[in-house]
Structures are given as C-alpha cells and as structure tokens.
C-alpha cells in the first residue's frame, strides 16, 4: 500500500512541476489544470498531457503535449504556452 502512495506522491510532484513551469510562462492571474489522458490519435503515444489555462473573462485555452507527464520537459511547456 505504501508503494501506491509513494507513486501517487511522485506523480503529484511531477504534475506540480509542470504547473510551475506554466505559471513561469503565463504569469499570475490564471488557473492551470494538468492531466494525463489516453491518446487515440494515430501515431500518438498511448498517453498525452493536457494543459488547460483558465483566465477570468476569457475562453479556456488548451494545449496537448504528446508525452506522459513524467516525460514533459520545461521546453515542452514553454513551447505549449507560447501557442496559447
């Protein structure tokens, strides 16, 4: 059981790392949601990372990084945020 809790904690840390990189790019005043979802597109890895950015009074923006969250790099996030 402690192994599952440790794995969950590590996953949370990796998600928070990506969230911090998002805030470095977009600045304060927004909310960010990070999730991993199954990718069913042809040629896509089995899991992709989805970043949603919520800003008050603006439509929600999203970007998909075709990698599991543990493989997402800071440069992936910078590239994604520059497109939003």
Q: Which of 50, 46, 44 is nearest to 65 (CA)?
A: 50
Domain range for 40 is 2-82
Q: How many domains does the chain have?
A: 1
Q: Which of 2, 3, 7, 5 is nearest to 69 (CA)?
A: 7
pLDDT digits 0-9 by tens, 28-80? 788 999 999 998 878 878 999 999 999 888 899 999 898 999 999 999 999 98
Which residue is it, tokens 């497109």?
A: 83
Look at residue 10 and give its three-state secondary structure: helix
Tokens of residue 20, six digits: 């911090």
Note the pTM of the prediction, 2 decimals: 0.79
């Amino acid at each position: 059981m402690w192994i599952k809790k440790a794995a969950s904690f590590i996953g949370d840390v990796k998600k928070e790392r990506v969230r911090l990189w998002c805030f470095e790019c977009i600045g304060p005043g927004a909310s960010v949601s990070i999730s991993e979802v199954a990718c069913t597109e042809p040629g896509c890895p089995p899991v992709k990372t989805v970043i949603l950015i919520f800003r008050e009074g603006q439509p929600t923006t999203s970007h998909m990084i075709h990698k599991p969250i543990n493989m997402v790099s800071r440069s992936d996030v910078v590239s994604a945020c520059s497109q939003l």
